Structure 1
């Protein structure tokens, strides 16, 4: 995997994990003011979620990189087999 592919894989992984982490620690206010949605979070904890998203994405990316670098699953062989059909 070259560095461009690594950045792309990490970015996609980060965004997928972010959407999984967004519901964590969501609390809503009891009394809403005018123009506020009932489900709007009181404090979204975005820095907390960004930190956990980065940690989880890094672990997943290292696993993906190790899988690709070890040739346990050869993606080139899969591509070659798909090209025959």
Structure 2
């Protein structure tokens, strides 16, 4: 697996995991001001979710890299 293939593979896995992690722990604000959506999260914890997505992606990426390099699936 080359650098660019690895980068794209990591990026795709990371975005999928990030979108899976984003709704976890979201709480809606109790009262909203005019101009804000009633469904807007109170504290989205984006930094924590990015870190969680990265930590989940790392082992998945190395498994994907191993599968691609060993040609187990015959791709």
TM bracket, shorter-chain basis: over 0.9
Structure 2 unaligned segments of length 5 or more: list them: none
Q: Tell which has more relative contact order, 1 or 2 (C-alpha 8 A, sep 6+).
A: 2
Q: Cα offset for 1:71?
A: 2.1
Give the aligned partner of residue 62 of structure 1. 62
Give the aligned partner of residue 19 of structure 1. 19
What do you get for the CA RMSD once the two structures are aligned?
A: 0.9
For 1:31 and 1:4, the matched residues in 2 are separated by: 46
Structure 1 unaligned segments of length 5 or more: list them: 76-85
Give the aligned partner of residue 29 of structure 2. 29
For 2:59 and 2:53, the matched residues in 1 are separated by: 10
Q: TM-score, normalised by structure 1?
A: 0.82
* 4+ runs deviating over 2 angstroms: none
Bigger radius of gyration, 1 or 2? 1
Give the aligned partner of residue 49 of structure 2. 49
Q: Cα offset for 1:29?
A: 1.2
